[in-house]
Structure 1
Amino acid sequence: ELFALACGPSQTPISVNSYVVNGVRFVVRSRDEHRTTQNNSICSPGPDGEMYYGQLEKILEFSYLSFKTVLFRVKWFDTSNKGRIQNFVIKNNITQIKANGEAFKNDQFILATQVKQCFYLEDMARRPPGWKVVEHVSHKKFLNRGVIVVEDDPDVIHVDNSSDLALSTSL
């Protein structure tokens, strides 16, 4: 794999509207905007233990000699609280985020295997509007071609040509 990385991708990246990572479907925001179900909300733990939240803007798939890798371009929400200005609140075990602000404009890309799916619900009790309630979900089992697959390895991308990583399955 190191040789394949050194050679670079075999072609320009492919931009797709949706992608399944670890059995979870992620969809770009532009495709998800007018749908009832939303699959573009993501979160990712940072090196400092803090959780970062955003919306999926673009999915890029890079093909190398022997494997593929996927990058997500994300609009990250501003989770900083500066003085009296609050963009992020955890109260009574409920996480609320102000979805109007944007952060990390120069650092928008993340590996697809580094994110988790979450959901943003409109916070109807909060004024002014623009606040969302974050709902974290746990995807432990999923259906893949008639077989229930239990996968705890965050580095495996479930596509046909992904890489030669072994998938663990059990019934």
Structure 2
Amino acid sequence: MDEQGNEQVTNEIRWLARGPIEVARRYSGYIINGFRFYTKHRERFLKSQNNGVVVTVKTMSYASARDRRPIEGKINYYGALTDIIQLDYSSRYKLVLFKCDWVDINRGCKKDSFGFTLGNFNHLKHMGNDVTDDPFVLASQVKKVFYVEDESHKDWFVVMHAKVRDMYDMGDELCVNTEQPIEQVVKDTFDVTHNQNEWIRMEVDDNGDDDELCITPNAEDELDEGNETEDDGEENFF
């Protein structure tokens, strides 16, 4: 189509068609959708837990093979974050992927007598052992969960859905762009304020005390395209 001069082939399509560059970035932490995420390796010595993820997908449910009226339903896939990869398409687009250990929803998920969802990481799915396995999801698709050990059921963990901190619905009908993704808002902010030397925000440590955190564009824990925390620099994955 490009050789024939088709007008539908835009520069964006050309950049994506070339594929990502051979050098990718790996991070150990990432902030997106209002949640902070760490890989399992990074927080192996920490008391806090930020590796739990959940992805909600819509699917058609059939009662049987003869069912002519399928019903659309939602399914939650629970996992633990193991790696964060950022792909760069011609320095025009940057795509962040989360690699996770995914619980098998058939063998590793169940409901207890109180209605809580339990997960068992001894039963995993999509480990990458088969061509059809895909342990990666888009970072923009995930939300955060916590796994609390169930002492009455060995190897099972109660799934607790996290809530976004410091974000409240004030009911302001005059507010605009409320549906704009947080990932895009952060990106636009960096484009406008890239000349500022530092940003200040208040964080709460494990003891509940307020600590002032200074974030600079050249800090060791770099924030970029969604507030990533850079790990070991650039690595070649291809």
Output the TM-score relative to the length of structure 1.
0.76
Q: Do residues 122 (structure 1) and 133 (structure 2) align?
A: no
The number of equivalent residue pairs is: 149
How far off its partner does 1:74 sit? 0.8
For 2:126 and 2:55, locate their aligned partners in 1 and report how far apart those are by CA, in whole Å. Answer: 13
Give the 3 Å change call, closer, same or farther, for CA 71–98 of structure 1 in structure 2: same
2:162 equivalent among 137, 146, 169:
137
Matches within 5 A, 1:2-81: 2-48=13-59, 49-64=74-89, 65-81=91-107
Q: Report the Cα distance in structure 2 between the residues aligned to 1:24 and 1:151, rounded to whole angstroms.
A: 17
The two structures, once aligned, show a CA RMSD in angstroms of 2.4
Partner of 2:64: none
After superposition, the C-alpha distances for 1:125-146 in whole angstroms (9 at most, x for unaligned) are: 22xx21000000121645xxxx
Deviations 1:1-41 (A, max 9, x none): 33331232244111111111123211111111221111111
Contact 2:34 2:182 in 1 (8 A): no
**TM-score normalised to structure 2 length:** 0.56
> Runs ≥4 in structure 1, deviation > 3 angstroms?
150-155, 157-163
What is the letter of the counterpart of residue 141 of structure 2? Q
Find 1:162's aligned residue among 220, 225, 231: 225
> What does residue 147 of structure 1 align with?
none
The verdict on how the C-alpha distance between 1:139 and 1:63 changes in structure 2, with shifts beyond 3 A counting, is: same
Mark the runs of 5 or more structure 1 residues left unpaired by the alignment. 82-86, 143-149, 164-171
Point out the more displaced range, 154-163 or 56-65: 154-163
Larger Rg: 2
Specify the alignment match of 2:123 in structure 1: 101
Distance 1:69 1:133 in 2: 31
Query: Could you say what secondary structure the match of 1:3 adopts?
Result: helix
* Cα distance in structure 2, aligned partners of 1:151 and 1:19: 22
Matching residue of 1:146:
none
Does structure 2 conserve the Cα–Cα contact (< 8 Å) formed by 1:44 and 1:114? yes
- SS of the equivalent of 1:99 reads coil
Q: Once the two structures are aligned, what percentage of the paired residues are identical?
A: 30
Structure 2's unaligned 5+ residue stretches are 1-11, 60-73, 128-132, 168-176, 191-223, 227-238
What letter is aligned with 2:111?
I
> Residues of 1 paired with 2:86 and 2:123: CA distance?
28
Amino acid at match of 1:74: C
Distance in 1, matches of 2:121 and 2:179, equals: 30
The one-letter amino acid of 2:30's match is Y
- Specify the code of the residue in structure 1 equivalent to 2:54: C
Q: Residues of 2 paired with 1:13 and 1:151: CA distance?
A: 32
